[in-house]
Each structure stands twice: as structure tokens, then as C-alpha cells.
């Protein structure tokens, strides 16, 4: 039976793989049945890719383990998956993926959302792996190895009944009684490396706790390329919606302002933004009311379209001109990290409209939700507007 290891490049699954390949006694299957599968989101830390190439791939080559790297082809499942590599002699860790999660986020001016299920992970990792594994197994029984450690019992219980037909989930770290620390120690003993947590370089889940943030901030200061990717994504998302932010609604930008080396990094980031094409966007949201409570929003339909493009200085000047000479009655001009003209601001009663003209890097595509026109009409007729009339 095939033994398929979902290799997430992080501490836990690296420990399993290295132990299997270095300690014969801990394994009950023939290595010729092992297939290592890796889903690339396109945004993994560069350091992780380097360490995998330096320490893990040589072991896989030595034992001739089939290693397959896979990614999404686009943001639509219709376009399927891309096999980045399929070899028994892996040398390159294709962390650049194909269609990157960051591309998807930036196109619609948002960040991965931390409420509820990890939708980004299901789309960028879970789905391509399921498609690949279905192709590999053809519906036959297989052992699926997942690297949950002993502090992840709840996640393991949730995972057990999931997945493809014929899947026999296996959790070696649970059998070995290994927690994260044990995995880290093991890898330290082998490679003299504190193996880093694997994640997208902007992962909001990795920033959600104080410990996670303490790990991430020095990493950003040391890796401006990764910092700029996260900060650009966040900057654009906040321009479109001031309630966004990579740290549970708070901004990574603010966290870096207070961190050693952060202000210099942010000054460079502003220079980085200056080099991009910019736009003035019309960002409009039509909020619907909850059925039983007009003081709560049910959901919103959004329209985000470019009304002008140019360099940053031109866009700032143009919006400033609009605000100075053509500010409609009731509108408000906001100047700060983001420059906006608020035409409609959110009310306490729903339905209601929200609309702002905002300057931002021209990275988001024009996108109007199908239901926007109808929802906008209803929002304009919402209770507070009627009251004002
Ligand atoms: S690492 Fe974080 S941002 Fe990337 S897919 Fe997983 S949960 Fe989403």
C-alpha cells in the first residue's frame, strides 16, 4: 500500500521524515512505498525553502524517495493543479509555486481571514493535495501521514474522518509521544538548526499570538523582501477597508513601528511603494441588514474600481485637488497613512452604503460583485438616509 506523507516543510513533518530516513527501527513499511507530497502556496519563507534543499532533499535523494511538488494553477478549481516537480532526486524546493496565494489576496485587496476555518489553507494546500493524491491512488487504499504533534489532539480528531475514499490517516508523532519541542530537539541534534515554523511569510495565524509576533517581527526586519510582500498586501487591504490588518484587525505596520529596526524598514517600504504604479480607487460597499436586527450587518456587496492611474505623487495630488475643489456636501477628507475622500460612511443602521475614493498601489483588479447594483440601491434607501431626507 502507498504511504503518502503530506510534507508541510515545517518542524513536525520534517522530524517525521528525517527520523524515518535515519532510524530504521521507527518505521514499519518499505521506503519504496513512500511518496512525499508538498503543496506550494507560492509564499513560503525563503529560509524554509533553503533549509529543505540543504538538509531534507539530500536524504530523499539518497533513499530515492518519490517527491512531488504541486500548486494551484489559478484561483479557479476549473484550471486544476500544476505539478512543479515529480522526481526521486529532488534538488529545488519550488516555494514560488504557480498561482500564489499572495496574488489572489492582492488582486482583491484583502488579507487571509482568521475568523472560522482556514479557507486560504484549504484552497492553496488542501485542495491541490487532494487532487494529486486522488491521481496517485486512483481510489485505492493508502496510508496518509500527517504531522500533528501531541499538543494537536483536537486538530487530529477533526482530521481523522476527512479526506478521500481509501484514506487511512496516520499520525506518527502521536504514536511516538512527540510534541513540538521534541521535534525541534531532534532536528537540532541532526542538523544543529532551530528549524523555523513553516508558513506563508504574511500568515495572519502566525502573527495571532504574542509568541508568534515575537518570532515574526525580527524575521521581517532581517528579510525586507518578505516584509514588503506582507506590508504591501496589508497596505492595499487597509486602503480598501480600514478595518483590515494582518494581526487580527491590527496592522503589522503599527507593530513594526514599535519594534527595533522597524521604523527603518518602514521608511524603505515607503520607498518601495513609491516605485509602484498607483491608482485612485472608488471603493463602495452596500451593507445588508440582519433579518432580525437592523443594527447588525448581514453581509456586504463590494465594488472596487480604478478611476485614475499614475504614479504615487500624481494620484495624491489628484485626490487632494478633488477634495479641495469638489468635496460634495457631507463628504470628509482623511489624510494620514492612507488618503481618502469619504462620500458615504457606515451608519449604525443597516442597510447602508459606504463609499470612499482612496489612493493605493494599482495592484487590485477592478471587481464588482454580481449583487452590488441591487444591494447599493437598497443601501441608499436605508433607514438613516430616509431619516436625513
Ligand atoms: S500558512 Fe497561513 S496564510 Fe498560508 S495558507 Fe496556511 S493559514 Fe493561510
Q: Where are the domains of the chain?
A: 2-191, 210-274, 278-388
User: Ligand 1 in contact with 303 (CB < 6 A)?
Assistant: no
Closest C-alpha residue for ligand 1 atom 6: 121
Examine the pLDDT at 215 and tell me if it is beyond 70: yes
Query: What tens digit of pLDDT does each residue of 174-197 get?
Result: 999 999 999 999 999 999 999 999
pLDDT value of residue 386: 56
Residues of the chain with pLDDT > 90, as a percent, come to 89
pLDDT value of residue 380: 94
Query: What tens digit of pLDDT does each residue of 245-281 get?
Result: 999 889 999 999 999 999 999 999 999 999 999 999 9
Q: How far apart are CA 18 and CA 13, in angstroms?
A: 9
Closest C-alpha residue for ligand 1 atom 3: 203
- Give me the residue label for grid cell 489532539: 153
Q: Band of the pLDDT at 378, cuts 50, 70, 90?
A: very high
Query: What tens digit of pLDDT does each residue of 85-141 get?
Result: 999 999 999 999 999 999 999 999 999 998 878 899 999 999 999 999 999 999 999
Phi, psi of 306 (to 5 degrees): -80, 135
Element (DSSP H or E) covering residue 148: none
Closest C-alpha residue for ligand 1 atom 4: 200
Q: Band of the pLDDT at 385, cuts 50, 70, 90?
A: low
Query: Which residues lie closer than 8 Å to 199 by C-beta, 6 or more apart?
Result: 10, 44, 45, 205, 206
pLDDT value of residue 24: 79
Please write down the long-range contacts of 51-58, taking CB distance under 8 Å and 24 or more positions apart.
Answer: 51/193, 51/195, 51/196, 52/9, 52/14, 52/93, 53/91, 53/92, 53/93, 55/18, 55/190, 55/191, 55/193, 56/14, 56/17, 56/18, 57/90, 57/91, 57/93
Distance 251 CA to ligand 1 centre (A): 17
User: Ligand 1 in contact with 118 (CB < 6 A)?
Assistant: yes
CATH of domain 2-191: 3.40.50
Query: What tens digit of pLDDT does each residue of 298-325 get?
Result: 899 999 999 999 999 999 999 999 999 9
Distance 112 CA to ligand 1 centre (A): 7
Burial class (CB in 10 A: 0-12, 13-18, 19+), 237: buried
- The number of the ligand 1 atom at minimal distance from the alpha carbon of 123 is 5
Distance 105 CA to ligand 1 centre (A): 12
pLDDT value of residue 117: 80
Distance 143 CA to ligand 1 centre (A): 25
pLDDT value of residue 248: 87
Distance 204 CA to ligand 1 centre (A): 8
Examine the pLDDT at 389 and tell me if it is beyond 50: no
pLDDT value of residue 163: 84
Residues of the chain with pLDDT > 70, as a percent, come to 98
Query: Which residues lie closer than 8 Å to 252 by C-beta, 6 or more apart?
Result: 207, 220, 230, 231, 234, 245, 246
Residues 272, 228: contact at Cβ < 8 Å? yes
User: Ligand 1 in contact with 201 (CB < 6 A)?
Assistant: no
User: Ligand 1 in contact with 379 (CB < 6 A)?
Assistant: no
Span 62-73, average pLDDT: 98
Distance 126 CA to ligand 1 centre (A): 11
User: Ligand 1 in contact with 123 (CB < 6 A)?
Assistant: no
Phi, psi of 311 (to 5 degrees): -85, 175
Amino acid at each position: 500500500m502507498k504511504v503518502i506523507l503530506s510534507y508541510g516543510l515545517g518542524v513536525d513533518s520534517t522530524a517525521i521524515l528525517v527520523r524515518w530516513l535515519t532510524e530504521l527501527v521507527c518505521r514499519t513499511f518499505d521506503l519504496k512505498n513512500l511518496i512525499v507530497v508538498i503543496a506550494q502556496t507560492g509564499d513560503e519563507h525563503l529560509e524554509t525553502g533553503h533549509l529543505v534543499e540543504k538538509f531534507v532533499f539530500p536524504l530523499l535523494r539518497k533513499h530515492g524517495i518519490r517527491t512531488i511538488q504541486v500548486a494551484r494553477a489559478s484561483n479557479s478549481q476549473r484550471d486544476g493543479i500544476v505539478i512543479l516537480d515529480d522526481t526521486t532526486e529532488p534538488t529545488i524546493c519550488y516555494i514560488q509555486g504557480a498561482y500564489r496565494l499572495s496574488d489572489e489576496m492582492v488582486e482583491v485587496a484583502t488579507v487571509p481571514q482568521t475568523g472560522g476555518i482556514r479557507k486560504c489553507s484549504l484552497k492553496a494546500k488542501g485542495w491541490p493535495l487532494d487532487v494529486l493524491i486522488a491521481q496517485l491512488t486512483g481510489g485505492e487504499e493508502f496510508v496518509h501521514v500527517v504531522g500533528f504533534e501531541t499538543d494537536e489532539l483536537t486538530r487530529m480528531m477533526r482530521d481523522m474522518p476527512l479526506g478521500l475514499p481509501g484514506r487511512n490517516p496516520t499520525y506518527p508523532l502521536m504514536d511516538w509521544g512527540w510534541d513540538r519541542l521534541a521535534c525541534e530537539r531532534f532536528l537540532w541534534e541532526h542538523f544543529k538548526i532551530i528549524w523555523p515554523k513553516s508558513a506563508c511569510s504574511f500568515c495572519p495565524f502566525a502573527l495571532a499570538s504574542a509568541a508568534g509576533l515575537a518570532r515574526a517581527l525580527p524575521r521581517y526586519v532581517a528579510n525586507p523582501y518578505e516584509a514588503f510582500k506582507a506590508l504591501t498586501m496589508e497596505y492595499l487591504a487597509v486602503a480598501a477597508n480600514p478595518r483590515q490588518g494582518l494581526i487580527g484587525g491590527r496592522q503589522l505596520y503599527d507593530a513594526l513601528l514599535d519594534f527595533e529596526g522597524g521604523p527603518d524598514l518602514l521608511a524603505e517600504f515607503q520607498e518601495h511603494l513609491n516605485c509602484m504604479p498607483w491608482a485612485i480607487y472608488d471603493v463602495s460597499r452596500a451593507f445588508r441588514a440582519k433579518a432580525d436586527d437592523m443594527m447588525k450587518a448581514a453581509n456586504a456587496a463590494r465594488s472596487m474600481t480604478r478611476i485614475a492611474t499614475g504614479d504615487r505623487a500624481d494620484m495624491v495630488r489628484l485626490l487632494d485637488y478633488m477634495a479641495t475643489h469638489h468635496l460634495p456636501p457631507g463628504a470628509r477628507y482623511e489624510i494620514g497613512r492612507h488618503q481618502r475622500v469619504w462620500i458615504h460612511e457606515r451608519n449604525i443602521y443597516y442597510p447602508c452604503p459606504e463609499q470612499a475614493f482612496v489612493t493605493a498601489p494599482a495592484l487590485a483588479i477592478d471587481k464588482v460583485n454580481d449583487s452590488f447594483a441591487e444591494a447599493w440601491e437598497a443601501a441608499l434607501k436605508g433607514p438613516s438616509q430616509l431619516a436625513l431626507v
